[in-house]
Chain A
Amino acid sequence: MKLLVITQTRSRAGKPLQAKREIQGDWLRVGRAASCEIHLPDPRVALHQGLIALRDGIVVYSEGDAAVVSHTATTRKALRSARLKPGATVNVGPYRFTGEKAPEGFDGAIAIELVKPLAEAASGLTTRAGRLTLASLKLSKRWTSWALLVLVLALFFALPAGRILDLPWRAASQSPGVTGDRFWNPGPVVLAHQPVETRCAACHTSAFRHVQDRACLECHAAVGHHVGPELKPAALFQGARCASCHRDHKGVRATHRDDDGFCIACHRDLGAKARGTQAENASDFASDHPAFRLSLLEGDSVKKVRQGADELAESSNLVFPHAPHLDPAGVKSPSRGRVALDCGACHKPDASRRGFEPVSMERHCRECHRLEFEPAVTSREVPHGKPAEAVTLVSEFYASLALNGVKDSFEKAFGVPGEGLLRRVGQPSESERRVALELAKKKAGRVAVDLFEVRVCNTCHEVGHEDGAWTIAPVRIASRWMPQARFTHRSHAQSKCADCHDVARSMDSSDVAIPEIETCRKCHGGSKPVEKKVTSSCMLCHGFHDPSHPWSPGTKPGAVAEARGAR
């Protein structure tokens, strides 16, 4: 068989083009395989789709499932075979085979045309590689930026600012559901302020203005000023606000730092700041601090005496040497033999354990210092603290003895033979009565003098005479030697009393046993840490606000300036 194959294509302009070639063979294979005589390079064609043979004209046979389809049939039914007379057509995949009239020398002719070309675009990789960069995904830095900007401004500024800037949504911004201004809180406030922590307006009353002292004084009405009016505090603290020293939102523990810097700023050279001050300069406890100034009671007033500078003597009107009482061998007790006393025998810590309870005659002295007046009668004592009653008691005692005393007691007491007047036989005569009364009176007088001036009262007290009666000078023992100092015995409980108070050899009650600053410095250093010393800033012992100078509008700089202007 010799077949003419006319391959028809179309130019871009649509003009038909023809390529002719001749093929020889008994069976001509049709398919997309390169080995096929009629090669149809299209994926829609089977590898071997059909065969062409000469059987009284051209016949196309189907091979396999992919088949030759009748062009004219309404149903696209596969044909087993189709005779290609000139003019007849069959479809082979996207190709159309048309029978042509066989030219001279050929057994037949077929025209082949690709009638359904592949959509070219669909096959290119480039069409499936359109988005290779992040930018091609339409991710936008710009819009993300704007969104974040608006989000932050709205959530953290516009919404919370409703209250303070009086914006239209003021009411809404105060409701607890909305963020409010709590996100503006830069840090926790001190514990005492936590009840108002969520209410910023409690302190921050107006926008863009410092917190006003007014806001502080609303609660802290009882706060004291640092110095009294005589030092003109308004001039000293010109421009100072509560917040000059106290900054909140710096943690729950304190609003200020225990820092000597504030104190030293003035106290380094106090005279220059406050003329008329009696305080001496100080800048560091270890290296630059004056001796202690003690408050001594003098009469009904208080005298301040600096240790070392002036003679220190306590005038308590009490006669009390510490040394004999602290004799290691003990003191003689009338009932318990020798008893060794320690400080705690008389000085009991008070409830605060800051200081001590007052020493009491009844509790601490009387066991040994009995107020007996008649050696023969140890059961009778005069009352303590009442000289007139003591004299009366003594008189009555001896009068009673002169009247009722048995012979033995009578003779011991009066030193003459006899017995109580009423014990004698018969009615006592007038002269006997006078003698007995005289006897009792004289004896009582002697005993009272002995009691007050020789043996008992004057052991401890200054005994005087006034209008013919004995007087006992009132006892004034200082209990707060440095009332401004923040000293507590409780913090020093691990030390022995004698570490600070040297009384073991004290023979006079005028001795002052308050330790000097050097004693404190054995343990307390200055504001800089030093080995084996307690770092001691000013605030360890001193306070700033003095309750004895209550804060008043007059001490406020602004108010004073106004007052001056008015005058």
Chain B
Amino acid sequence: MKHQSILEYANFRWFKVAFALSALAGFAYAFHEPPTKPYGGSALGYALGGVAALLVLWLLAFGVRKRLYRSTLGSVQGWLSAHVYLGTALVVIATLHTGFELGWNVHGLAYVLMVLVVASGFYGVFVYLRVPGAMTANLGDETLESMLLRMADIDKDMREKALSLPDQLFKVVERSVMTTRLGGNFLRIVSGRDPGCPTARAARELPELAKSLTGEPANVNKEVYTLLLEKNELLARARRAMRHKAVLDLWLYFHVPLSIALLAALAVHVITVFIYW
């Protein structure tokens, strides 16, 4: 069976639902005649606000549903598809609810948080559509762990061979073996780069250092260099794999806390509106 993305789930069922919902809200807005100008406190404003608030609660419930592995209330794939499309419809409905009136207040805060949550969600969808393909292309049949093991093997082999190389060369190889690192901090994990990577440096420096070698050491050096290049290649792939994983994870570090902040701001918005009715 052909792979079906969450966007295409059930023949675009949730796209249709979200579109119908947005269109309905749009028509209602176009034909509604509020007592003053369009705003959240008119009859339609309350209706749109109520729908938007329910949508927010339901969208947040996705975080619960996806952890309930034994739930039979729809598939998680279906929930995610609906989550994406109804989250998009939420922007339309909430915007109509505001009547395009925004200010520097808690109501505006709720709106901005909602937009940020949805925008980060869009980015998440983009990432989920794009990164897994790149990830597979990068990893092939391997995993990050298997690559690490292979590199450890190469390290051992390379070091053994490099032992019979002059100090200067051995030092360079030894540094690659002893100090090459993977990840470790946020920047290196997310960027997938290590500007001072000793292996890359060794791969750059070794040919120059080995120029004067002749005979057996030159042959050994050639072997070492081959191993070094192989390791460097593996490292680049491993770093890419690490970055891919990080990119898949990172947006959620914004999406989730911001959505909780939105829940708080939404609660404050609703309560304060009725306190000062």
**Can you list 5 contacts pairing A with B, beta carbon distance less than 8 Å?**
A47-B164, A157-B106, A181-B276, A204-B276, A209-B277
- Asked whether A247 is an interface residue with its Cβ less than 8 Å from the other chain, the reply is yes
CB within 8 Å of A: which residues of B?
33-37, 39-41, 101, 103-107, 109, 144, 148-149, 151-152, 155, 159-160, 163-167, 170, 174, 177-186, 189-190, 216, 220, 238, 242, 245-246, 249-250, 252-253, 256-258, 260-261, 263-265, 267-268, 271-277
- Asked whether A122 is an interface residue with its Cβ less than 8 Å from the other chain, the reply is yes
Complex Cα gap A32–B41 (Å): 84
How many cross-chain pairs have Cβ atoms below 8 Å apart between A and B?
A: 190
Closest Cβ of chain B to A184, distance in Å, is 5
- Nearest residue, chain B, Cβ from A256: B36
B249 touches A34 (CB 8 A): no
**Residues from chain A with Cβ under 8 Å of B178 in the complex:** 122-123
A33 touches B164 (CB 8 A): yes
Complex Cα gap A247–B34 (Å): 11
Chain A, 135-160, CB within 8 A of any chain B CB: 135-137, 139, 141, 144-149, 151-153, 156-157, 160
Chain A, 246-305, CB within 8 A of any chain B CB: 247, 250-251, 254-257, 259, 261-262
CB within 8 Å of B: which residues of A?
32-35, 41-43, 46-47, 122-126, 128-137, 139, 141, 144-149, 151-153, 156-157, 160-161, 164-165, 181-188, 200, 204, 207-211, 244-245, 247, 250-251, 254-257, 259, 261-262
Complex Cα gap A123–B181 (Å): 11
Partner of B276, one of A124, A156, A200: A200
Complex Cα gap A47–B253 (Å): 52
Complex Cα gap A245–B36 (Å): 8
- Nearest residue, chain B, Cβ from A66: B167
Closest Cβ of chain B to A520, distance in Å, is 26
Q: Is the interface of A mostly helix, strand, loop or mixed?
A: loop
A sample of 11 more A-B contacts (CB under 8 A), given A34-B216, A183-B104, is A43-B170, A123-B155, A130-B184, A132-B183, A139-B186, A139-B253, A148-B261, A156-B265, A185-B105, A208-B274, A257-B35
Which 4 A-B residue pairings sit nearest by Cβ, starting from the closest? A129-B182, A148-B261, A145-B260, A152-B264
B246 touches A125 (CB 8 A): no
- Nearest residue, chain B, Cβ from A184: B272
Partner of B36, one of A147, A184, A247: A247
A134 touches B275 (CB 8 A): no
A128 touches B163 (CB 8 A): no
Complex Cα gap A207–B260 (Å): 26
Complex Cα gap A161–B271 (Å): 10
B246 touches A134 (CB 8 A): yes
B257 touches A141 (CB 8 A): yes
Partner of A46, one of B106, B167, B274: B167
Partner of B253, one of A125, A141, A153, A262: A141
A208 touches B148 (CB 8 A): no
Closest Cβ of chain A to B120, distance in Å, is 12
B151 touches A184 (CB 8 A): no
Known: A43-B170, A245-B35. A126 touches B276 (CB 8 A): no
Closest Cβ of chain A to B274, distance in Å, is 6
Partner of B275, one of A131, A161, A250: A161
A132 touches B144 (CB 8 A): yes
Closest Cβ of chain B to A364, distance in Å, is 48
**Residues from chain A with Cβ under 8 Å of B159 in the complex:** 43, 123
Complex Cα gap A340–B182 (Å): 103
Known: A33-B163, A129-B183, A157-B268. A257 touches B189 (CB 8 A): no
B257 touches A145 (CB 8 A): yes
Closest Cβ of chain A to B107, distance in Å, is 5
Known: A32-B163, A129-B181, A255-B36. A144 touches B253 (CB 8 A): yes
Complex Cα gap A186–B104 (Å): 8
Partner of A149, one of B40, B155, B261: B261
